[in-house]
Every structure is written in structure tokens, then in C-alpha cells.
Structure 1
Amino acid sequence: MKKIVIACNSGLGTSLMIRLNVEALMKELSVQAQIEHTDITSLDAYDADLIIGSSYVIESLHLAGTAELIGLEDITDRQHLKVRLMESGTLRDWFA
């Protein structure tokens, strides 16, 4: 199963808000994926294919895994999120 993890500093407000938007966009795009949200210190517990968060959170990550990272400049703009997802090589592979 494809896995998307949304991360923020505390794993509460920001990541939950982004998660709800990601879930809506995945449904719109007819992509089935397991979607979780968490704090940045717990990311290693997830075997994510795609990690999404605000740009400053994503830039601070030092992960050893192979997950693609997507940093959002505007975490409230659903259209910006959609554009960034459509630019994702990982997501494009899921359509193949």
C-alpha cells in the first residue's frame, strides 16, 4: 500500500490540516494511499513513500530513507498542495 506521511513539529494542528487536504485530493485523483500525520521526531517509525510538510519543517529533516519530500510554502492553499503533488515523481509513478 502506498503511504503518505504529513509531518509538523508537534504532529497536531498543521499536519492534521494538511492531511485532510491530502485525503480530499487523493480521493479527487482516485489514488488509494494510507495517509498518516505525525510529529517530526516520530517520522522514523513510518515507512513512507512520500513525506509532506511545511517547507521549513521539510528542510530541517535529515532522513536516511528513500521517501520523496514535499515542502509547502503555503500550508493553507489547497491549490498549491495540488500543484506540488502533481509535480511529485512518486505520485506520477502511482498513476503508471
Structure 2
Amino acid sequence: MYKGLVACRAGMGSSMLLKIKVEQVISEQKMDLQVEHGNLDSLVGFNGDVVITMEDVAHEIANQVPYAIGIRNIMDKEEIKAKLDEFFNSKK
């Protein structure tokens, strides 16, 4: 089971909505990923496999995490699925 963090700068509305959409995709696709929610301060001590965030934030944190996924449209489950698929394919 992979471990992920869904985060944004403040850890408030946008990342919580993104977490809900990510969990829907994980459930629908039966992906082997468990996600938690937080803000960018949650990166300190994070020992998971992937951070899922907004596209602009992903570019900023790419060097700080094992794998960063940047989502442009947090309501687009197809985009989320495609980027999660890329993550899982990188682990093969």
C-alpha cells in the first residue's frame, strides 16, 4: 500500500476538496493508495510515497518529496486518474 499526502499551502478548502476527489478515484479504480490531508507544513517528516497538490505547488516542492503530482483542475477526476496512473506506472 502506497501512502500519499494531499496538501495545499493552507490545508483548507481546495486541498480538502481535492482529497475527496482523489479518494473517489482511488475507490473507483481500486488503487493501492491511502491518502491523508494536510498543508505544506505537513511535508516536514512526511515519509510517504507521493504528494498530491495543485499544479503550481507541485513545481515548488518537487525537490522535497519522492513524487509530486500537480493537479490543474481539482474537479476533474479524469485528470486525477491519469496522473495517479503515471505515479503507479513509475513504480513498476
The alignment's TM-score, normalised by the length of structure 1, stands at 0.80
Does 2:19 correspond to 1:57?
no
Code of the aligned partner of 1:82 = K
Share of identical aligned residues, percent? Answer: 28
3-state DSSP of counterpart to 2:73: coil
Number of aligned pairs?
A: 90
Cα distance in 2 for partners of 1:84, 1:40 equals 20
Shift of 1:33: 2.8
Unaligned stretches of 5+ in structure 2?
A: none
- 1:56-75 aligned within 5 A: 56-61=56-61, 62-63=63-64, 65=65, 67-75=66-74
Q: What does 1:22-37 correspond to in 2, within 5 Å? A: 22-37=22-37
Name 1:76's counterpart in structure 2.
75
1:86–1:33 CA distance, 2 compared to 1 (3 A):
closer
Give runs of aligned pairs for residues 29-48 of structure 1, distance below 5 A. Answer: 29-48=29-48
Residue type at the aligned position of 1:71? G
Mean Cα deviation higher: 16-25 or 28-37: 28-37
The DSSP-based 3-state class of the residue aligned with 2:6 is strand
Describe the SS at the equivalent of 2:48.
Answer: coil
Q: CA RMSD in A?
A: 1.7
Deviation at 1:85, TM superposition (A): 1.3
Where structure 1 has 5 or more consecutive residues not aligned to the other structure, the ranges are: none
Matched, 1:87 2:86: yes
Which one-letter code corresponds to 2:85 in the other structure? Answer: M
**Structure 1 residue 54 displacement after superposition:** 0.6
Runs of 4+ aligned residues of structure 1 deviating over 4 Å after TM superposition are none
Give the corresponding residue for 2:7.
7
> What is the CA deviation profile of residues 22-73 of structure 1, one whole-angstrom value per residue up to 9, with x for unaligned ones?
111111121243211111122123212011111111112241x4x2111112
